[in-house]
Amino acid sequence: MGKIRVKTLGDEAQEQAQADKAKKRREEKKAKKEHVKGVGLKGGQQITAMEGVELKTDETGAETAGETATKKNRKVKIRVRSKRYQELVALVDKTKLYPLTEAIELLKKTARVKFDPTVEVHVNLNPATLPKDKKNLSGTVTLPHGTGKKRVIAIADEALIERVQSGTIDFDVLVAHPSLMPKLAKVARILGPKGLMPNPKNGTVTPNPEKRAKELSGGELAWKTEPDQPVIHQSVGKASFSTTQLSENITSLISSVTASKILKLTLSSSMGPGIKVDLKLL
């Protein structure tokens, strides 16, 4: 139901005042919603004119409203590194490719934290050397000196499945016999997101789970590229390891991945700067 307007009869001056007032309201309403022509709008579309906002024309001739105001109001947060980190970065020449041994020794100098930091290898693969039918690449490697972190290897059975269903996960790697995989499907939604679901590709589904568990306890671990990206991030030890130990672990990983597929290799420690390694000297 529309508005009910009261009109006073017999008083021409008052009638004229009411008419002028109604006309003014219509003009104000029309000014707020006026049709803008030539901006690429389709039939029936309209744009609301906003007071104080300038209309701009882009390369195609279409005008955009509020772009300038939005940019002015947007706050850009600039990340400022700590003084400690800036001092560590100053020790590394970002334009230089270091020999592996020199890179490890420099990494030890920049590993200035209160705990024993993890040493990580970041590998960029050459997409041209990868199989065209495979988006991701994976494999396993046995590090001669381990990662410095003790891993709990578990063998799947019905009791373990019940513990997982109750919310208890007390292992780092799970190995299973193929016959037990249908039962493990019950907890796939729990183990899958954590990367703990047994998989034939990484050798955690095997007819001899006891033997496989011993192999994994001896330092064997799986590596893989990021989803749809030719990049590998892998822990290879601790900063407290000797230069020789870290060098042998890194060399083992490179051999497993295949040196000819590697485009760039960078070392870093926890909260430390990246150090580029010269692949030609490996």
Q: pTM of this prediction?
A: 0.62
Give the percent of the chain with pLDDT over 90. 47
Alpha helices per DSSP H over 74-126: 83-89, 100-110
Three-state DSSP class for residue 209 = helix
Tokens, residue 206: 């095997």
What are residue 118's DSSP bridge partners?
238
Three-state DSSP class for residue 114 = coil
- Write out pLDDT tens, residues 95-134: 999 999 999 999 999 988 889 999 999 999 998 888 877 7
The domains located in the chain, with CATH, are 92-148+219-282 (3.30.190.20), 152-218 (3.40.50.790)
Give the whole-angstrom CA distance, residue 85 versus residue 103.
18
Give the whole-angstrom CA distance, residue 156 versus residue 145.
27
- Write out pLDDT tens, residues 129-171: 888 777 788 888 999 998 888 889 999 999 999 999 999 999 9
Give the whole-angstrom CA distance, residue 213 versus residue 156.
11
Residue pair 173/205 in contact by the 8 Å Cβ criterion: no
Whose tokens are 């100053």? That residue is 90
Residue pair 248/145 in contact by the 8 Å Cβ criterion: yes
In the chain, the amino acid numbered 62 is A
Q: Quickly count: other Cβ atoms within 10 Å of residue 48's Cβ.
A: 9
Q: pLDDT value at position 262?
A: 95
Between 157 and 77, name the one with better pLDDT. Answer: 157
Residue pair 221/99 in contact by the 8 Å Cβ criterion: no
Total count of residues recorded for the chain: 282
Start-to-end Cα distance in the chain: 85
Give the whole-angstrom CA distance, residue 49 versus residue 37.
12
Between 23 and 14, name the one with better pLDDT. Answer: 23
Q: pLDDT value at position 38?
A: 47
**Average pLDDT over all residues of the chain:** 82
- Write out pLDDT tens, residues 197-230: 998 888 899 999 999 998 888 778 889 898 888 9
